[in-house]
Each structure stands twice: as C-alpha cells, then as structure tokens.
Amino acid sequence: MIPAPRWRKVLRDVLRNPTRTLLVVLSIAVGVIAVAIVMGAYGIIAADLPNAFDATNPAHANIRMQPFADDLVDVVGRMDGVADAAGRRVVSVQARVPDPEGPPGATTWQDLQLLVIDDFDDQRINIVRPESGAWPPDKGEMLVERASMAALGAVEGEPLTIKLANDDERALKVVGQAHDMNEVSLAITGLASGYITPDTLEKLGLDRRYNEMLIRVAENADQRSHNEEIARAVADKVEKGGYTVFRTSVPRPGEHFLEQFLSPMLLILGALGVLSLLLSSFLLVNIITALLAQQTRQIGVMKTVGASAGQLTRMYLASVALFGALALAIALPLGTLLMNALLAFVARLMNFNVVTNRLPLPVVAVLIVIAMGVPVIAALGPILRGTRVTVREAISDFGAGSTVFGRSRIDQALESIRFLSRPQLISLRNTFRRKGRLILTLTTLILASAIFISVFSVRASLFRTMDDAFAYWNYEVRLNFARAYRAEHLAAVALEVPGVRAAEAWGLRNVYRVRPDDTESDNIRLIAPQPDTKLLNPTLLEGRWLLPTDEDAVVINTDLLDDEPDLRVGDRMVLNVDGRDVAWTIVGLVRSVMAGPYAYTNYPYFARMVRQVGQADILNVALEDQSPAAQTAMALELERVFEAQGMRVVGTETTAAQRDQVGDQYGILIAFLALMALLLAIVGGLGLSGTMSINVLERRREIGIMRSIGASTPAIMRIIIFEGVLIGAMGWILGALLALPLSRILSDAVGEGFIHSTLTWTYSLGGAAFWLLVMAGVAALSSFVPARQAASLTVREVLAYE
C-alpha cells in the first residue's frame, strides 16, 4: 500500500538532504559500532571461551610431586570427592631457535616444556587436540603447540634441537601441531610447549614416570575452596604414601587464566563505547533541532490544515527512527567485521578458537534498541519543543527570537571586539550564534580530544612505569648456570670481559607459599641479591628495602600481594624452599611490572638456607652499552667465556628481551584503547562537520546576501572555514586541559586493572600535538566541504523562496 502523504513527507525529507542524513546516520552508526564491538566480543568470549575451555576437561587441581606411577593414579582416582585423576610428565628443556636479533644464522635457546601424553587418543584431563600434521607423534617425534610454532621457529617435517637438563642435545622431528588451551599462552609467559609419547621420553634417556597429578573434582567443582580441600586431601594422602609434594595449584574453576585480564580491558572499552554513543547523540540533537527550526513554517502549515502536535511529533520521531534503522544497517555488518577482528586478536592472545563469528542475538536486540532508542530519546526534547510551536509563531515573521544574536553577555563581549577584520568578525559572531549547538559540538570535541590525549598519556605512563620498573633491574644480562659455582669467581670472570660494568652472583629459587590453613600458593620467584647490591633500584611502595644485616626478611612485590592479598608488611609468611617450609618476615613492598610474583631476600642468608654458602648458580651482569643489540651480543660472549672456562651456562636472559615481552602485552591494551579513541575521533569529526553543515545550510540566505553585495567565493569560504577552525581550536584547548585529570583517572584505572598498582602518570605532549594536527585537519575539512557548497550557490538559488 502507498503510505499516507505525511509518511511520504517523512521519507522524502530524509532522502532530500543526503549529506545531513549521512552525517546523522554515520554518527549514530559509530556509537552503535563501538557498542557492538565491545558487547559482541564480550558476549562471544563469555560464551565460547568457557565452552572451549570446558571441552578440554580442565584439571581442577594440579599437584607437582616426586615421580610416581599408575598405581598411585588409581589410588587417587578412587578417593572420595575425586572424579578422575591422571598422571603426566612435564620436562623442562630448551630448544635451539634462530636468534632474531643476532646475525643471520645465529641461534639462541628458547625455554620449552615437553608434555608427555600416554595415549594421544585417550586423554581425559587437560585434553590436547590435534591441529595439523601427524597425530599421534611416533617415537623420536614431537608435536608443537600451535601458538609456540613461531617462537620455536618450528617447521612441520623438520627436526628441532633440544637441550636437556644434563646439557645433552637431541633432535626431535616436528611432525605436527597441537592445540592446548591449558598451557599459559606463550604470548604471556614466553614458555613454549611440545608433546611427546612416553617412548620418546625413554629414548631421551629420561624417567618414564609421572611428575604431575591432574585431578577432576566430582561435585561442587565450581567452588575453588572445595577444590582446594580435595587437593589438600590428595596431597596428604600421597605424602602419607611417601611421596614429596612440591606444589599444589588450584586454578579458578572453569575460568581460563586470561579471563581476569580481559575483564578490566573490556570494561574500559565498554565505557568508551557508551561515551561515543552519548557523543553521537549530541550531534543528533543538533541536527534535529536545526531540522525542526528549518521546518518551522512547514509545521505551521501542517497545523493549519489540521495536524495535531501529536501527529507531528510522531512524524518527526519516525524520521529519527528511520535514521536509526539506516545506522543499524551500517553498524551491524561493520560492527560484526570489526568485532571479528578484535576476536581474532584476542583468540590469538588466548590461544583459543572462536566458533561464533556473528553478533549474538541478544546483543543484536540490544543494538536495535540502542540504535532506535538513543536517537529517539535524544531527539525527543527538540521534537516536542519544535512541534509545540503555535501556528502564529510558525507562520509569522515575529517570534523565534531566542536564537537571535545580540542578547547575551557573550554576544555583547563579541560586539565590542574591534581588532578583527569585518569577515573575521562575522565568523566569530556566527560561532556563538547558536549557543546550544555550540555547547553540544564543543562537548563532543572536548571529550574526544581529552580521551584521545588521555589514551596517549596512558601509553606514555605505561612505558614510563615500565622504564621505572626495569630501572630496578639495573643489569642487562642474566646467566643461569647448570650448577652452583663459587660466587666470587663467577663475578670475577665476568668483570674481566670488556664492556662489563658490574657483575653479581645471586640466588634464585622457585618457591611457593604455605598459607596458615596449609593450602599452597602458585609459584613465587625467590630472588636473593647481594646485600649491598648495585644492580637493583626497587620502587618501594611500603616498608623498607633489605638491610645487609637482615636475615629472614623478605620484600614482596605487588603481583605477589595480588595473589596473596592477606599479606601485610610486618607479617610472617611461610615459603616452601627446596621442599622445606621456612618462615620469613615481610619488611617491604615493591612495585612489579607484570613480572609475576616475586620475593627478595639477602643472599648470605639464602645461601645458608639452601646449603650453598659462597656459591651461586645465577650471575647478573651490568653492561656499559645497554642497547638491545649489545645485550644480545654480550650474552653470547659471556656464555662463550664461561663455557671456555668449563662452567656450563644453561640459559641467558636479557632485560631488553623481557622488556619487549612486557611491552607487547601493553601494546595489546594500547591498540584497543587507540581503536576506541579513533572511534571517538570520528564522532568528534562528524560532530564538527555536522554543525558546520547545518550552520551553512541555515545561513544560505545570508550567504546569498553577502554574495549580492560583492563577497567573492574565497571570502565566503574563508568566513566559514575560520568559524570551523575556531570551534576546533576551542575543542582542542579545552580537551587538552580536561585530559590532565582524565588521563590520570584512566592511567590509574589501567594500572589498577593490569599491574595492580598505579602507573607513573605522564601527560603525553606528543599525543596532544598529534591530536592538534588531526583536529586542524578535521576542522578544515569539515568546514571546507560545506563552505565550498555554500560558495557555489547562486544568489538566485539562495534567495529563492522555497
């Protein structure tokens, strides 16, 4: 059926001004897209990740212990509360990989854990799935976790050289890839994973027995405390059987370890998404207000022929809903596209397969409500006001006086300005003519500017914090030795090497905390620097640093505090070191940088405790040249020197490499934030161009008059562009100021969410300058287009009565 004339009018008004329609539709679309990306990605991750994760039958508890065999697995499997148990062996080795920073052909060692799987086709817990190539691997062959392929430089069908703990080097043929969601992603830990059969293990000359017990809890497995209880019962039982338990870990049940990292990120992104939606509705208010002002006469005529205010309100609301529907038509496909890009990114980071690639239906429903509802709500005020005008006000040449220039104090101040040229004065006064519109446009620009600059500031703050944090590792290369050597000798050898500034032998152990209720924590690195160490510059947050006279004192870092939130400076804490429980006093708290939980203690006490007095297996070396290239080169050189003296080096680490790794993790966050800042920048740009095009549209008559009294095309364009640039400049200045507090809030939130301490706040002047350039471009462009359009109108066209 042909719609009634009034609905035809609605439709044609929307179509008649394609520029305006496009602006409105785009600005709604950008807001909806932002929400779609975040909500869609969140919805899909929330649905797919637990599904994918659950499908691997993840262990509810993981017990590392002395070697054991199937008989113990059976015993544990039959225990009350245990649904299933499995044993497996995990072997830490190193793999020879091409060195990306060294000269061509150079190699370096990459940490690799080999997981031994009894029967690849009958796995019950922490299930590893085939990805490509052969399955299962034969004797002498291995599969590589798909996310580890690149780091290992592995190629299917090619051999990989591995180095065992006893320094034997062996070759294993990589025959395929596996997918294992239960191993912490390489992107986060830098640890690669490979999979072999027990036969291969035997061939490597290693003990066939298990060293890790995986447990599935029977009931209430979603309660971590219950799982901890069961794990403790199992540990007690096996210890009674004469096995030493090294470590028990009970992960958050049913939750992938990266989920907690994802939540704060999505929260921040969500907030930005909602903000861009809000700002895009400002533009809508401006455009609808202008549209109604433009159609006042038509409203009057329609009322004269019998239209009620209600009918008119419905008509204009319908056109807004139409804008919303058009925006939705853009936002759904584009939002899906961008969401999938985001998902691909997250999936790579978290090493899981995203099954869903469409916006979940509930999200689509929400988006429909948002796309139609937010514009309708935003436009309701202007529409109600616009359709309530009386016919007399609408038809007469009197009335509509509130927007006439010259009434307010700002106007009077502007009238008193004398130093500008006449056309510049027109620009200046025009800028302030529609104050409501100016306020909304400025708000959009200010917020977009502030957030853009804040994102850059968060980035600067993150890197500054990282610099600070890495500055406390005042050394560049760490050498790990196969066994303990005399500490003084290690340092002396290193100091002989040209380019070495300082060298200290330290102690290091992986330990765990035994809590007052006998449960155990995850791994903690216990680091024992020399008492008067020059190689550490800790950032103390609480308490004090170690004194040379301290004995059983430890300083903990914020990551440890986050894992074990009951710890306080001054408390006692029990750490299990080499199988023995030792009590310590916490004397201080230092900031960490996503380095994991650390505790520091004095070397002499540590050495006595681990019965290696005067000896150490770690050497930290400070270099004169601290460039990444020099660090890599010196690591090789030092390794060579020590090997030449018969001291075996099992691994080297450089702070440059570590820094890259941490930087990559921040990079992900920054990339997301930048994406959102970009969306906001688009909203800001649309807001400004929207305002400029309505300004020009409204002033067509005036422009015609100026033309008829002799204004040239460039003169008219200058007047309009000057106005756009003026608004842009105000937006930038105020936004740059607002970024001062805002960037601080954002960097605190990011710090709290990601490294559990505040960042060292830095205002990014570079970001502000960059945004100034963007803004100048946007302002010039968004006023240039309407200006040129205006200047191309003939006098007859603009003065002709509609």
Partner 1 sequence: MFWSRSNGAGSPISTNGVAHAAPHAPRLIDLRHVVKNYATAAGAYTALRGIDLGVDAGEFVAVVGKSGSGKSTLSNMITGIDRPTSGEVLVGGVAVQQLTEGQIAVWRGRTVGVVFQFFQLLPTLTVVENIMLPMDFCNTFNEHRHARRERALFLLSQVDMQMHADKLPTALSGGQQQRIAIARALANDPPIVVADEPTGNLDSHTADAVFHLFEQLVAAGKTILMVTHDDDLARRATRTITIADGEIISDRPNYAPHAVVDDDVDDAILLGDEELRLA
Binding residues vs partner 1 (CB under 8 A): 1, 4-6, 8-9, 12-13, 16, 297-298, 300-311, 388, 390-392, 395, 801-802
Q: Report the partner that residue 298 touches, choosing among partner 1, ligand ATP, none (CB closer than 5 to 8 A by kind).
A: partner 1
CA dist 453 and 513 (Å) reads 42
Shortest distance in whole angstroms from residue 423 CB to ligand ATP? 34
Shortest distance in whole angstroms from residue 44 CB to partner 1? 43
Shortest distance in whole angstroms from residue 7 CB to ligand ATP? 33
Q: Report the partner that residue 303 touches, choosing among ligand ATP, partner 1, none (CB closer than 5 to 8 A by kind).
A: partner 1
Residue 801 binds to ligand ATP (criterion: CB under 6 A):
no
CA dist 680 and 450 (Å) reads 10
Of 5 and 242, the one with the shorter C-beta distance to partner 1 is 5
Q: What sign has the CA pseudo-torsion 348, 353, 357, 359?
A: negative
Of 166 and 396, the one with the shorter C-beta distance to ligand ATP is 396
Which residues on adjacent β-strands are paired with residue 575? Answer: 513, 582
Three-class SS of 35-61: HHHHHHHHHHHHHHHHHHHHHCCCCCE
Of 392 and 534, the one with the shorter C-beta distance to partner 1 is 392
Shortest distance in whole angstroms from residue 306 CB to partner 1? 2
Shortest distance in whole angstroms from residue 311 CB to partner 1? 6
Shortest distance in whole angstroms from residue 305 CB to ligand ATP? 21
Shortest distance in whole angstroms from residue 294 CB to partner 1? 11
Of 11 and 278, the one with the shorter C-beta distance to partner 1 is 11
CA dist 48 and 63 (Å) reads 28
Q: Pattern of binders to ligand ATP over 191-210, x per CB under 6 A?
A: --------------------
Task: Tell me the Ramachandran region of residue 478: left when phi exceeds 0, alpha when psi lies from -120 to 50, beta otherwise.
Answer: beta
**Looking at 139-238, which runs of residues are DSSP E strands?**
141-145, 159-163, 169-179, 192-196, 210-217
Q: Report the partner that residue 498 touches, choosing among ligand ATP, partner 1, none (CB closer than 5 to 8 A by kind).
A: none
CA dist 215 and 340 (Å) reads 35
Q: How many residues bind to ligand ATP according to rule CB under 6 A?
A: 2
Of 396 and 713, the one with the shorter C-beta distance to ligand ATP is 396
Nearest CA-CA partner of 279 in 769, 683, 778, 724:
683
CA dist 335 and 454 (Å) reads 24
Dig out the tokens for 713 from the structure: 């095309």
Q: Report the partner that residue 419 touches, choosing among partner 1, ligand ATP, none (CB closer than 5 to 8 A by kind).
A: none
Nearest CA-CA partner of 595 in 724, 716, 488, 465:
465
Residue 396 binds to ligand ATP (criterion: CB under 6 A):
yes
Shortest distance in whole angstroms from residue 399 CB to ligand ATP? 6
Q: Report the partner that residue 593 touches, choosing among partner 1, ligand ATP, none (CB closer than 5 to 8 A by kind).
A: none
Dig out the tokens for 508 from the structure: 């290091």
Dig out the tokens for 341 from the structure: 């890009």
| H or E element, residue 286 | helix 259-294
Of 296 and 758, the one with the shorter C-beta distance to ligand ATP is 296
At 588 the three-state DSSP class reads: strand
Q: Pattern of binders to ligand ATP over 343-382, x per CB under 6 A?
A: ----------------------------------------
Nearest CA-CA partner of 472 in 558, 590, 589, 559:
590
Residue 397 binds to ligand ATP (criterion: CB under 6 A):
no
Three-class SS of 358-385: CCCHHHHHHHHHHHHHHHHHHHHHHHHH
CA dist 321 and 783 (Å) reads 27
Of 80 and 802, the one with the shorter C-beta distance to partner 1 is 802
Cβ–Cβ < 8 Å for 202, 46: no
Q: Is the peptide bond before 362 cis (omega within 30 degrees of 0)?
A: no
Q: Report the partner that residue 568 touches, choosing among ligand ATP, partner 1, none (CB closer than 5 to 8 A by kind).
A: none
Nearest CA-CA partner of 686 in 32, 28, 14:
28
Of 260 and 396, the one with the shorter C-beta distance to ligand ATP is 396
Of 399 and 741, the one with the shorter C-beta distance to ligand ATP is 399
Shortest distance in whole angstroms from residue 264 CB to ligand ATP? 59
Of 302 and 616, the one with the shorter C-beta distance to partner 1 is 302
What DSSP character marks residue 472? T
Applying CB under 6 A, which of residues 2, 71, 80, 398 lies at the interface with ligand ATP?
Answer: 398
CA dist 4 and 6 (Å) reads 6
Of 156 and 393, the one with the shorter C-beta distance to partner 1 is 393
Shortest distance in whole angstroms from residue 704 CB to partner 1? 17
Shortest distance in whole angstroms from residue 394 CB to ligand ATP? 12
Of 8 and 392, the one with the shorter C-beta distance to ligand ATP is 392
Q: Report the partner that residue 390 touches, choosing among partner 1, ligand ATP, none (CB closer than 5 to 8 A by kind).
A: partner 1
What residue is closest to ligand ATP based on CB? 398
Neighbouring CB atoms inside 10 A of 502's CB total 17
Residue 404 binds to ligand ATP (criterion: CB under 6 A):
no
Of 341 and 400, the one with the shorter C-beta distance to ligand ATP is 400
Of 255 and 411, the one with the shorter C-beta distance to partner 1 is 411
Neighbouring CB atoms inside 10 A of 428's CB total 16
Shortest distance in whole angstroms from residue 15 CB to partner 1? 9
Positions 470 through 499 that interact with ligand ATP (CB under 6 A): none
CA dist 111 and 152 (Å) reads 9
Residue 132 binds to ligand ATP (criterion: CB under 6 A):
no
End-to-end CA gap in the chain: 30
* Sequence-distant (≥ 6) Cβ neighbours of residue 173 within 8 angstroms: 140, 141, 142, 157, 158, 159, 160
Shortest distance in whole angstroms from residue 322 CB to partner 1? 14
Nearest CA-CA partner of 181 in 55, 92, 357, 346:
55
Shortest distance in whole angstroms from residue 290 CB to ligand ATP? 24
Dig out the tokens for 380 from the structure: 């309701």
What residues make contact with ligand ATP under the rule CB under 6 A? 396, 398
